[in-house]
Amino acid sequence: MTVDVELPDLVTGTDTEIVADNVRAVGAIYSVWLLDQAGAFRVVDRIVELFNQGLVPLGQGRVSRALYRLWRQGDRMLAQDRAAFYARAMGVPGGDASAGEPNREFLSLWLRFVVAVSMFARQQGNSGLLVPPTPANAALRAAARALAANASAHGGEMVQRAARRLIEEVQQLLGLLNEPELLAAFGARNVWQLIDRVHREHLGLPSHVARYRSQASAGSRVFDWLADQAATLSDPAAPGGKSKGDAAVVEAAELLLAAMAGDAQMPEPPPDAAAVALEVPDLLFAAQELVAALDLAGERNGVSAGHDIAALFHGPAGTGKTLAAHVLARSLSLPLYRIDLAAIAGKYIGETEKNLAALFERAEREGAALFFDEADALFGKRSEVRDSHDRYANAAINDLLQRIEAFEGVLILAASPQADIDAALASDEWRRRRWRVVRFPRPRA
């Protein structure tokens, strides 16, 4: 059995019909997922536990009855079921296959669109994102069309039913958390402060409520805009084509970038001939700084750095590595292919090598940048060969490293703090390229 390498077409248009209701359904799932990340469901569960233990000072009124019903009935969608729908609609890790095949392309298309909107606005202004079609907005139109088509394809009837149920549950939960009696019991002024306080004081977890709430609100505006533009995205040159709400979606994109990047910055790394130090708060400008630094290095070494970049992003999850990869590729006016090593690894001898060959050939042919996310396996020692599986796993890693060495385009690897990149970069098999290391520090709690 052969596993084909399927990459999203980031250049041409799409024949997929864009159904506005499907786009809005995925948008609703996206907003609920972010509120879930903010802890809305987790906080309610903890408050119910505290109430059941007699630790919440409430009378015998409406709030007590609501908490008692939640404790007795527990008729909300289970966390694993929510995760399954998040995976189906947006490819979020953690869901099983009960809700269908996950949407693996969403993250890349989402980031690509947000970056395209922001960079277009900084260069061209807050209008004319889609109409009239011009060379200046061609990349943005392609990004919007690809994202809307993807959401439309994954927002069918099953996801729409889940979206309606989840929205209803979120509205009920937020209504309960906003009850004055419950707010007073926890000394909170509003629902968001209550979530933050329970997170910190009763769950012992850091809270990022403001960031997730901002993303949910801005993301909802983006999906509404995409749904409103369904006909225009299908044919922006059609008579009567209009692009409404451009300024609002530009503002939403900027809010999303700020929230996704968080307050993580890229401080000066330890002295290292292979490292490029960046210390700028805006990832859009960070990418441009990186490109400029690489160009200067290329001039000094007599090579064209702009077309032969090998960058290594090192840091914890959630610090903006994927976002930075998209911004860097957009700064170079290149499409970006985000590669999941697990997705291209074949089950049988020789499959992985075939998949890698097809991947690199297509990237070279189309001039795309390659982004290997979660590339920790490349930096570890080869496993001890105990059986044929170990032997061929090591062979696949060696094959990939050889292709990385020979690839003449833009290459970005992302690794977690657990990967010993310094030891790897000191070895002979990594020294053949000049790697530019960018350190992403752990975000503040």
Averaged pLDDT for residues 387-412: 71
**Do residues 246 and 371 both lie within one domain?**
no
**Do residues 371 and 235 both lie within one domain?**
no
Q: How confident is the model at residue 245 (pLDDT cuts 50, 70, 90)?
A: confident
**Do residues 236 and 359 both lie within one domain?**
no
In a domain, 6, yes or no: no
Check if the beta carbon of residue 220 is closer than 8 Å to that of residue 60.
no
**Do residues 295 and 235 both lie within one domain?**
no
**Do residues 38 and 149 both lie within one domain?**
yes
Q: For position 386, which CATH number holds?
A: 3.40.50.300
**For the chain, what percentages of helix, strand and coil (3-state, to nearest 5) are there?**
60, 5, 35
Encode 168-201: b = buried (16+ Cβ within 10 Å), e = exposed.
ebbeebeebbebeebbebbebeebbebbbbbbee
**What is the structure's pLDDT at 204?**
87
pTM: 0.68
Is the model more confident about 426 or about 264?
426
User: In angstroms, rounded to a whole number, what is the distance separating the alpha carbons of residues 176 and 38?
Assistant: 16
Phi/psi at 371 (nearest 5 deg)? Answer: -125, 110
**Do residues 91 and 45 both lie within one domain?**
yes
Closest to 180 (Cα-Cα) out of 61, 69, 45, 46? 61
- If you search the block for the tokens 């909170």, which residue do you land on? 188
Which of 261, 295, 315 delimits the end of a domain? 261
**What is the structure's pLDDT at 390?**
44
**What is the structure's pLDDT at 316?**
81
Q: How confident is the model at residue 189 (pLDDT cuts 50, 70, 90)?
A: very high
In a domain, 320, yes or no: yes
In a domain, 278, yes or no: no
Q: How confident is the model at residue 381 (pLDDT cuts 50, 70, 90)?
A: low
Averaged pLDDT for residues 81-101: 78
**What is the structure's pLDDT at 207?**
76
**What is the structure's pLDDT at 4?**
26
Q: Cα–Cα distances in Å, from 408 out to 3, 236, 306?
A: 25, 36, 11
Question: How many residues are recorded in the chain?
Answer: 445
In order, the DSSP letters of 123-151 are HH-SS-SSSS--STTHHHHHHHHHHHHHH
In a domain, 271, yes or no: no
Half-sphere exposure for 228 (CA within 13 Å, toward CB): 14
Mean pLDDT of the residues in the chain: 76
pLDDT of 276 over the 60 cut = no
**What is the structure's pLDDT at 362?**
87
**What is the structure's pLDDT at 391?**
46
Number of domains in the chain: 2
**What is the structure's pLDDT at 437?**
81
Proportion of the chain above pLDDT 70, given as a percent: 73
**What is the structure's pLDDT at 290?**
57
**Do residues 61 and 197 both lie within one domain?**
yes
Q: How confident is the model at residue 270 (pLDDT cuts 50, 70, 90)?
A: very low
User: In angstroms, rounded to a whole number, what is the distance separating the alpha carbons of residues 311 and 293?
Assistant: 12
CA 438 to chain centre: 19
**Do residues 156 and 289 both lie within one domain?**
no
Residue 66 token pair: 């609501």
Tell me the angle at which helices 20-38 and 138-154 cross, rounded to the nearest 10 degrees: 80
Is the model more confident about 49 or about 344?
49
Closest to 2 (Cα-Cα) out of 290, 344, 324? 344
Segment 325-364, tens digit of pLDDT: 877 777 677 888 888 766 665 555 577 778 788 888 888 8
For residue 72, the surrounding DSSP H or E stretch is: helix 62-73
Q: Which amino acid, residue 380?
A: G
pLDDT of 427 over the 60 cut = yes
**What is the structure's pLDDT at 151?**
95
Which of 228, 261, 294 delimits the end of a domain? 261
**What is the structure's pLDDT at 78?**
85
**Do residues 234 and 154 both lie within one domain?**
yes
Q: How confident is the model at residue 112 (pLDDT cuts 50, 70, 90)?
A: confident
pLDDT of 158 over the 70 cut = yes
In order, the DSSP letters of 320-379 are SHHHHHHHHHHHTT--EEEEEHHHH--SSTTHHHHHHHHHHHHHHHHT-EEEEES-GGGG
Enumerate residues 6+ apart whose C-beta is below 8 A from 255.
214, 215, 217, 218
**What is the structure's pLDDT at 442?**
62
Averaged pLDDT for residues 134-141: 88
In a domain, 277, yes or no: no
Range of the structural domain that residue 314 is part of = 283-439
User: In angstroms, rounded to a whole number, what is the distance separating the alpha carbons of residues 437 and 67?
Assistant: 51
User: In angstroms, rounded to a whole number, what is the distance separating the alpha carbons of residues 171 and 418?
Assistant: 40
In a domain, 270, yes or no: no
In a domain, 96, yes or no: yes
Is the model more confident about 158 or about 264?
158
Residue 141 token pair: 């139109």
Check if the beta carbon of residue 155 is closer than 8 Å to that of residue 24.
yes
**Do residues 162 and 296 both lie within one domain?**
no
**Do residues 392 and 244 both lie within one domain?**
no
Range scoring the smallest mean pLDDT among 20-34, 91-105, 122-136, 337-351: 337-351
Q: Which of 57-61, 107-111, 164-168, 423-427 has the highest mean pLDDT?
A: 164-168
Check if the beta carbon of residue 149 is closer than 8 Å to that of residue 16.
yes
Enumerate residues 6+ apart whose C-beta is below 8 A from 283.
257, 261, 320, 323, 324, 327
Segment 225-240, tens digit of pLDDT: 999 999 888 776 665 5
pLDDT of 213 over the 80 cut = yes
**Do residues 287 and 257 both lie within one domain?**
no
In a domain, 7, yes or no: no
